[in-house]
Amino acid sequence: MDLFMKCAIEEAEAGLQEGGIPIGSVLVRNGRIVGRGRNRRVQCNDPILHAEIDCLRNAGRIGSYAGCTLYSTLMPCYLCAGAIVQFGIGKVVAGESTNFSGAREFLESHGVEVLDLDLDVCKAMMGTFIEKHPELWYEDIGDL
């Protein structure tokens, strides 16, 4: 596993420790992290503060996102995929898509390269959370 996915996992773990949903993300440009984020919907009472959105906010205005790669511990949903496409992020590396298949087809249909690492650590962290907190999870994905 590379450093960038490890950093995304650290963000997910931090979110879990804060009482939130364990999904983390980092934005990489020219081999360095320019933004980090985690799902903070619960912590901030913000319905759209998914990990990828938090990551983009924390990166700030960086001009062009061409050449950036977004790492996320879970395959991005349609909300986050829309932001990825809107800003022209060319590549997404997901930790897993077993617990949530996300919007992979949407991303790929808009020219985004998607790599699913299928990492056991990501699957276990998300699977355990869903088992313990199904109401938060189903609220997060809009499936209550």
Catalytic residues: 52
∠ at Cα 53 (47, 57), nearest 5°?
115
- Dihedral sign from CA coordinates of 49, 55, 59, 65: negative
Q: Are strands 32-38 and 91-94 parallel, antiparallel or unpaired?
A: unpaired
Distance CA 67, CA 28 (A): 9
Paired tokens of 104: 């992979």
Paired tokens of 22: 């364990």
